[in-house]
Amino acid sequence: MDKVLSKRLLPAVVIEDAELAIPLSEALLAAGLPVIEITFRTKAAEAAIRNVAQRFPEMVLGAGTLLTPDQVSRARDAGATFGVAPGLSESVVRRAQECGLQIIPGVVTATEVTRALELGCQVLKFFPADACGGVKAIKALGGAFGHAGVRFVPTGGIDTKNLREYLALPIVAAVGGSWMVEKALIASKNWQQIETLTREALVAANG
C-alpha cells in the first residue's frame, strides 16, 4: 500500500477507449506520477487495465469503483495490484483479500470505519469528501480512530486549490480526484495538459 500512497495523489480515470490508457499513462509517468486508478465505470476499463499492466510494469495500477466481487476478480486478472471501492462492501473486501488485491474501501461514518477495521482495512477512502464534511469531518474521525492506524484517502470535491488542507491532517495519507485526468482531456488526447496539471498537483501535494 505504501507504493499506492507514496506520491500522496491518486488520479481516478474514467476512460472510454482502452487504447488511450497507453498515452495517458505516459503523460502521468512523464509528470512524475507512477500511480493510476482506472475506474470500472465503462466497458473499456478492464481492457485499459490490461493494456497498462502489459506496457508499464513500473506503474502502480489500480481499479476503482469496484462494486462487486466479480469486478474485483476481473480487475486482479487484468493486472491491477490495488482496488478502490466507493463504499464498504464485505463481499468486495473479502474477494480482494482472497485474490491478493490490496483494497481501499469507502467510508463516511464512524460505524463504517469500525466495520472496515474489523475486516482488516486501515487505509480507507473518505467519499464523497466535500459533501460529507470535508476536512472537519476527517479531523473529527481522526480523533477517534487515529490511534487504530486508520489512514484516509479523501475523494470528491478535491483539486489543486484545496488538497493541501486535507493533506495537512496527519490521518490523511493521500487525496484522490480526476481533475488532472478529466474525461474531456483524455477524449481530446490533450496529453500535454494532463502532464501539466499532474505536475502542478504533485507540487501542491508534496511541495
| Alpha-carbon span 172 to 184, nearest angstrom | 29
pLDDT of residue 112: 98
Catalytic residue among 7, 46, 125, 195: 125
CA distance 14 to 65: 10
Amino acid (one-letter) located at 170: P
| The length of the chain, given as a count of residues | 207
User: What pLDDT shows up at residue 102?
Assistant: 97
**Sheet hosting strand 106-107, strand order edge to edge:** 106-107, 123-126, 151-154
Which 3 state secondary structure label does DSSP give 103? Answer: strand
CA pair distance 133, 138, nearest whole angstrom: 8
- For the four alpha carbons of 176, 192, 62 and 1, in that order, the dihedral sign comes to negative
Which pLDDT score, from 0 to 100, does residue 176 have? 97
pLDDT value at residue 207: 72
Based on the residue annotation, tell me whether 125 is a catalytic residue of this protein: yes
Of 120, 119, 121, 85, which Cα lies nearest the Cα of 105?
85
Per-residue pLDDT, 166: 97
Instruction: State the pLDDT at residue 103.
Output: 98
The confidence score (pLDDT) of residue 48 equals: 98
Domain limits of the chain?
A: 2-206
The pTM (predicted TM-score) of the whole model is 0.96
Residue 57 has a pLDDT of: 96
User: What does the pLDDT look like over 163-178, one tens digit per residue?
Assistant: 999 999 999 999 999 9
Residues (pLDDT < 70) of the chain are none
Q: CATH classification of 2-206, choosing from 2.40.110.10, 3.40.250.10, 3.20.20.70, 3.40.50.300?
A: 3.20.20.70
Among residues 7, 37, 46, 195, which one is catalytic?
Answer: 37
